[in-house]
Structure 1
Amino acid sequence: MEGEELLEHALLYDAQGRPLLSGKLNASREWAQVNAFCHRVYMPLATRPLVAGSDPNATLRTLSIGRIVLSRFCFGVPTKADEFDPSSGNIIVVNTMRGSVRHPLTDGASIDTRPGDSYVVDCSRTDYWNVADGDDLQFNLTIPHAVMEETAQRWYGFVPEDDLWKKRLVFGHGHSAWLSLLDYATLSVDARNDRIASPLIEKRIEETLCLELLRGWAECSGLNLETGARSAAPRYVREAERLMEERAHEAPSVTDIAAQLGISARSLSEGFRRFRGVTPHEYLTARRLDGLRKALEEAPPGQTVSSIAAGRGYVNLTAMSACYRQRFGETPYQTLRSRPGRM
């Protein structure tokens, strides 16, 4: 199945066949409307038709899943778009469903994406342009760079350098897992309110989309996310990570960890900021929350959130719950209630 078939009903119908985005601007033959759409959904940019005087025949359909903006888009005439504003801080993923779109690559060459091809560019880190052939149809994602950094830090413990973010490349072809994931995401939207019914599921889909994009992007860039920057970091940073993971249940302080390594807390902080892009406290907080989540998932009958949290050194349950929800998209109670094996 090609990409066009996978996303055939994307932003048109939900899983029950009900029409999405009814009563909203979904098409236009006016450049002012098309440009306003581009500026709102992607970022400020410049567009010009390649056939002088031609009017667009544009498809303009968009909705959001969490902080990710999805769009089904085409100009409907051969058009060049450039001068994408880097201050927007956005990453663009272009999934070609029909026709072809030309994009720049990192090495200065260009590529024409075909149906089923997925292309990614971080417009906050590098310049970008594209040329649409007029017969194309694109399914695009707009993702804030900061959201991708959060995802990398949460799952891999570090934020990649600009060597990754500056890579402009095609990371998927044909019937890819990425396109299947996009298809699932769009079918999860309920046409009755143009939203995913459950905020928790919406958060999960946002996270999964960012994680799969990061994995594909890194793989095509030759970056091993599993090791990341670890080999470049000094031994004391790697040892501190090990100790934080091992002692998370004891609620150690950053000063305790630094003292065990025979260095100052300031040196440890500088090392983490340089090689991990976070503070030791942020890293330790994440490891403690990870450990708490595992304890909640494995808790025997009769255990409560309060007892489990207290056993792991948490005193302020309100603050803990807020941090937990921000990291995992659900409350500690929801994790405990839905743990495997619960009767």
Structure 2
Amino acid sequence: MLQDALLFDGAGRPVAGQGRTYSRDWDEVQDFCRKVYMPYKVRPTGRLLQPDATMRQAAVARVTVTRFSYGVPIHLSEFDPGAGNILVLNTLRGSLRHLCEGPNDAVTRAGDSFVVDCSRTDYWLDGDENHMQLNLTIPHDVVAEVAHRWFDFVPDDRLWTKRLAFGGYGSRWQYLLSYVVQAVDPVRGRVRSDALARHLEEMLCLELLETWAAGAGVSLKDGARAAAPYYVREAEEIMAREARDPPAIGAIAVRVGVSARTLSEGFQRFRGISPRSFLRARRLEGFRTALERAQPGETVTTIATDWGYVNFGALAVAYRERFGERPSQTLARTMAKV
């Protein structure tokens, strides 16, 4: 199903690689890995081994998809948590051995997948000489954002620290990956349209969340949200209600009866994001709603100004990253219905 991923598109046309797609130079291979995954330590498990690496990548909105192999047996460790990335390692051939919970490691073979949030837990893996991977690098904040949008909360570390093997041939995840890679433009190395790319990003994150939560024993429908302390829930209500003219984070902390530091730590622990990031998301959502309810004569500038935005360039970038289109496109669609 995925054997030709990032080699050929759905019509059988060769996919052009970005930069070098093969290498036998350790420095070149590691430079690729630092950019598409994160800094980490690699050690070949043999003497005087040189890589015979496959290095292909494509972009699906904020998700980086890679077809990758070192071409030699390796041990990887010391993944940099500061990069803030989740890895989903999907094995095409060969096998990987992963650090996992309990006394036994997890082994994934062709058709199997493994997810680990390297920003929240430690991790290592061994790959045999035949390993070939179709990997996803997803920023933690992107998955947290999808969780909040769909389930109205961000899971705590019971989810993010769970290292999980999943998938297998015939699984929904395998079919979804196949659909995603076939949407990659064979020349541009990315999904053809921004709107489709954001839709596929959402599908990948949502399917991953549901599978991951089931494996971690975390409920996405109830329980986890209630586990957050009262001051986090009250702060969320204030920020959602007053997003148009928001108070300072320190002022919100005073209103809910805690220090700004306690509020920040509560959000990070129970929502996986900062209070400022939560507020920024609510403001973007409110701005979008205002565009969707605009009346004739209103412009993006007047609506943005009414919402207190002054840097329209930065707003446009953040809006497009969040919703997959420019504010003017949202407004144009609204005006077409009037």
Residues 21 and 45 of structure 1: CA distance in aligned 2, closer, same or farther (over 3 Å): farther
1:93: which partner in 2?
88
Judge which range, 267-276 or 150-159, deviates more: 267-276
Residues 316 and 293 of structure 1: CA distance in aligned 2, closer, same or farther (over 3 Å): closer
Provide the rounded CA distance (Å) in 1 between the counterparts of 2:62 and 2:73: 30
1:47: which partner in 2?
43
Provide the rounded CA distance (Å) in 1 between the counterparts of 2:287 and 2:278: 14
1:179: which partner in 2?
174
The one-letter code of the counterpart of 2:205 is C
Return the match for 2:99 from 104, 116, 121.
104
Cα deviations across residues 168-197 of structure 1 (Å, max 9, x unaligned)?
A: 111322222222222222222212222323
Note if 1:166 corresponds to 2:166.
no
Note if 1:78 corresponds to 2:68.
no
Residues 20 and 161 of structure 1: CA distance in aligned 2, closer, same or farther (over 3 Å): same
2:187: which partner in 1?
192
Provide the rounded CA distance (Å) in 2 between the counterparts of 1:60 and 1:280: 38
Provide the rounded CA distance (Å) in 2 between the counterparts of 1:36 and 1:177: 33
Say whether the 8 Å CA contact 1:159–1:276 is kept in structure 2: no
The one-letter code of the counterpart of 1:19 is P
SS of the equivalent of 1:195 reads coil
Residues 269 and 131 of structure 1: CA distance in aligned 2, closer, same or farther (over 3 Å): same
Say whether the 8 Å CA contact 1:268–1:280 is kept in structure 2: no
1:145: which partner in 2?
140
- TM-score, normalization by structure 2: 0.76
Cα deviations across residues 46-105 of structure 1 (Å, max 9, x unaligned)?
A: 22134x344443322223333322211223333322333334333221101112211111
Asked which structure has the greater CA Rg, the reply is 1
Give identity over the alignment, percent. Answer: 43
The one-letter code of the counterpart of 1:96 is T
2:255: which partner in 1?
265
The one-letter code of the counterpart of 2:257 is S
Provide the rounded CA distance (Å) in 1 between the counterparts of 2:337 and 2:63: 33
Taking only aligned residues, the RMSD between alpha carbons, in angstroms, comes to: 4.0
Return the match for 1:9 from 1, 4, 13.
4
SS of the equivalent of 1:109 reads coil
Provide the rounded CA distance (Å) in 1 between the counterparts of 2:192 and 2:323: 18
Provide the rounded CA distance (Å) in 2 between the counterparts of 1:118 and 1:273: 34
Residues 289 and 57 of structure 1: CA distance in aligned 2, closer, same or farther (over 3 Å): closer
- What are the ranges of 5 or more consecutive residues in structure 2 without an aligned counterpart? none
Cα deviations across residues 248-307 of structure 1 (Å, max 9, x unaligned)?
A: 79x57659xx99xxx95252785854544467776566456546656766x69x757659
- TM-score, normalization by structure 1: 0.75
Q: Report matched runs for 1:248-327 at 5 Å.
A: 265=255, 267=257, 273-277=264-268, 283=278, 286-287=281-282, 289-290=284-285, 293=288, 306=299, 314=307, 322=316, 324-327=319-322
